[in-house]
Chain A
Amino acid sequence: MTTATETAVVKPRTVVLAAGFAIAAVILALVSLSLGTTKLPLDEVLRALVGGGDSGTRLIVLELRLPRVATGLLVGIAFAVSGALLQTLSRNPLASPDIIGVNSGASAAAVTVIVLAGTGGGNISGAAERIGLPLAAMLGGLLATLIVGLLSIQRGVVDVSKVVLIGVGVAAAANSLVAWLLVVGDVTDAGRAAAWLAGSLNARTWSDAVPVGIAVAVLLPVAMIFGRELEALVLGDDVASSLGVRVSRVRVALLIVATVLAAMATAGAGPITFVALVAPQVAQRLARTDRPPLLTTAMLGALFVTLADLIARNGLQVLQVGPYELPVGVVTAAAGAPYLLHLIGRQQKGR
Chain B
Amino acid sequence: MWGVRGVPRAAALMALVGVVVLAFGASLVFGSRWLGVGAVGHALLSQGGADADVIVRSLRLPRTVVALVIGACLGIAGALMQGHTRNALAEPGIFGVSAGAALAVVLGLQVGVVETVGSTVWCALIGALVATFGVQKLAARGSGASPVGLALTGAAVAAMLGAFTSAIVLLDANTLDGYRFWAVGSVAGRGFDVVGQVLPFAIIGLILAAFNARDLDLLALGDDIAAGLGLSVRRARLVGLLAIGLLTAAGVAACGPIGFLGLLAGHVARRIFGARNSWLIPAAGLTGAAALILADLVGRLVGGAGEVQAGVVLGIVGAPLFVIVVRRRAVAL
Interface residues of A (CB under 8 A from B): 92, 94, 98-99, 151, 154, 161-162, 164-166, 168-170, 172-173, 175-177, 179-180, 182-184, 187, 190-191, 194-195, 197-199, 273-274, 324, 326-327, 329-330, 333-334, 336-338, 340-341, 344-349, 351
Contact = CB atoms under 8 A, between A and B. Distances in A.
A151 B311 contact: no
Contacts of B320: 173
Contacts of A161: 331-333
B331 A345 contact: no
Contact of A198 (B166, B318, B327): B166
A169 B319 contact: yes
Contact of A173 (B143, B155, B171, B319): B319
Nearest to A92: B333
A334 B333 contact: no
Nearest to A340: B156
B326 A162 contact: yes
Interface in B136-165: 138-139, 141-143, 146, 148-149, 151-153, 155-157, 159-160, 162-164
Interface in B265-292: none
Contact of A176 (B171, B259, B323): B259
Nearest to B173: A191
Interface residues of B, number: 55
List 7 A-B pairs, minimum CB-CB distance, nearest first.
Answer: A348-B142, A176-B315, A173-B319, A337-B160, A333-B163, A169-B322, A179-B184
Given A190-B176, A197-B166, A326-B167, A344 B159 contact: no
29 contacts: A161-B331, A165-B89, A168-B151, A170-B319, A170-B323, A173-B316, A173-B319, A176-B185, A176-B316, A179-B180, A179-B183, A180-B308, A180-B309, A184-B306, A190-B176, A194-B170, A329-B166, A330-B163, A333-B162, A333-B164, A334-B163, A334-B164, A337-B157, A341-B153, A344-B142, A344-B153, A348-B139, A348-B141, A349-B141
Given A164-B333, A165-B151, A330 B315 contact: no
Contacts of A184: 306
Contact of B259 (A164, A172, A199): A172
A165 B312 contact: no
Identify whether the interface residues of A are mostly helix, strand, loop, or mixed.
helix
Contacts of A180: 184, 308-309, 312
Given A161-B333, A177-B315, A327 B184 contact: no
Contacts of B115: none
Contacts of A324: 171
Contacts of B332: 161
Contacts of B184: 176, 179-180, 182-183
B180 A190 contact: yes
A38 B323 CA distance: 51
Contact of A169 (B141, B167, B181, B326): B326
A175 B155 CA distance: 13
Given A345-B138, A348-B141, A349-B142, A172 B160 contact: no
A333 B316 CA distance: 26
A347 B146 CA distance: 11
Nearest to A91: B333
B143 A341 contact: no
B180 A182 contact: yes
Interface centre among B138, B177, B184, B319, by most A CB within 10 Å? B319
B201 interface: no
Interface in B238-280: 259-260
Contact of B143 (A151, A334, A348): A348
Nearest to B308: A180
